[in-house]
Amino acid sequence: MLANRARKNFHRLHPRFEERGIGTFRVYDRDIPGIRAAIDWYEGHLVVAEYAREQTAGLPWLETMARAAAEALAVPWERVHLRKRRAGGKYERLASRGERIEVRERDLRFLVNLDDYLDTGLFADHRETRALIRKEARGKSFLNLFAYTGSFTCAALKGGARSSVSVDASPIYLEWARDNLALNGLEGALVRGDVREFLAAANERWQLCVLDPPSRSDHGGRMFDVQRDHRSLIEKTLAVLEPRGVLWFSTNHQRFEPRLEGLRCTEMTGQTVPEDYRNRAVHRSFRIVNG
């Protein structure tokens, strides 16, 4: 059943994504009840993730699913990468191979690591968000908070942003962002630090911003919970934007309940979730105009 569904989805999606120069997309995401997996295509590689549960504990369920998908899509086993996702808990580094491959997103290129981390370095579910940000970036100063590997920054600069600042607490991700910028022939300022501390100390103003925080984090003993803290963080971010500056806020919190009353806010989720992710509520996004 999994093989048949993965094959059907792939044959439907792959030609249209190839026409658009998109090299990574979701093939399967819990389409069939009882087969709790996500399968992603990365330029001829497969990343297969099992949503772990008690019923499959101790069974070779992940490898069984991965082999079925690989056979269906004619992907050699050495190009299959396995993951287990668990509700709650903190994910550690999975490996230290340090190997990255280049993937296409229209005329952008990004580096991904398919083995060492739970996430690969590119959130493909935000490809349409990147496209929308790119469209309104021309001539604007751009701020990327919780910048991760800098994909939003690349999109904004490719769209003609006149400057960019990308903020993240991780030196690994900022170096990765630097590599992504260089891969696309771009340059932008990279700032290592806690986003809340950066906002409190900022003496600049920006015209366009992306705020895509983790659902939960602990930086230096300072806990962050997006459901509890999103309104305060959004207000602090709006304070560093110019009048009529635009903030794109997004979260992948599965039960997120926005508290955005009184803001000039439009929910954009219907436009930002791409067709290969619409089987699940993968994220919610909002466009907020300052003032």
Residue range 123-289 forms a domain whose CATH class is: alpha beta
Any residues with CB less than 8 A from the CB of 130 and at least 6 apart, and which? 105, 108, 151, 152, 154, 155
Q: pLDDT band at 280, cuts 50/70/90?
A: confident
pLDDT of amino acid 96: 66
Share of the chain above pLDDT 70, in %: 93
Is it true that 2-85 and 123-289 share their CATH fold? Answer: no
pLDDT of amino acid 236: 98
The predicted-structure confidence for 234-258, as pLDDT tens digits, reads as follows 999 999 999 999 999 999 998 999 9
The residues that bridge with 211 in the sheet, in sequence order, are 145, 249
The predicted-structure confidence for 28-68, as pLDDT tens digits, reads as follows 999 998 899 999 999 999 999 998 766 666 679 999 999 99
pTM above 0.85, yes or no: yes
Share of the chain above pLDDT 90, in %: 85
Q: CB atoms < 10 A from the CB of 234, how many?
A: 21
pLDDT average, residue stretch 78-88: 84
Average pLDDT over the chain reads 94
Rounded distance, CA 219 to CA 197, Å?
A: 11
Range in 95-109, 118-132, 261-275 the model is least confident about: 95-109
Q: pLDDT band at 86, cuts 50/70/90?
A: low
The predicted-structure confidence for 110-139, as pLDDT tens digits, reads as follows 999 999 989 999 999 999 999 999 999 999
Rg for the chain (alpha carbons), in Å?
A: 19
pLDDT of amino acid 127: 98
Better pLDDT: 222 or 140? 140
pLDDT average, residue stretch 89-97: 60
Burial grade of 180 (CB within 10 A; 0-12, 13-18, 19 or more) = buried
Q: pLDDT band at 94, cuts 50/70/90?
A: low
pLDDT of amino acid 92: 56
pLDDT average, residue stretch 10-27: 98
pLDDT of amino acid 56: 65
pLDDT of amino acid 98: 80
pLDDT average, residue stretch 10-31: 97
Q: Tokens for 53? A: 């549960």
HEC states along the chain?
A: CHHHHHHHHHHHHHHHHHHCCECEEEEEECCCCCCCEEEEEECCEEEEEEECCHHHCCCCHHHHHHHHHHHHHCCCHHHEEEEEECCCCCCCCCCCCCCCEEEEECCEEEEECCCCCCCCCCCHHHHHHHHHHHHCCCCCEEEEECCCCCHHHHHHHHCCCCEEEEEECCHHHHHHHHHHHHHCCCCCEEEECCHHHHHHHCCCCEEEEEECCCCEEEECCEEEEHHHHHHHHHHHHHCCEEEEEEEEEEECCCCCCCCCCCCEEEECHHHHCCHHHCCCCCCEEEEEECC
Does CATH number 3.30.750.80 belong to domain 2-85?
Answer: yes
- Judged against a pLDDT cut of 60, whether residue 90 lies above it is answered with no
Rounded distance, CA 115 to CA 84, Å?
A: 12
Domain range summary for the chain, segments of one domain joined by + = 2-85, 123-289
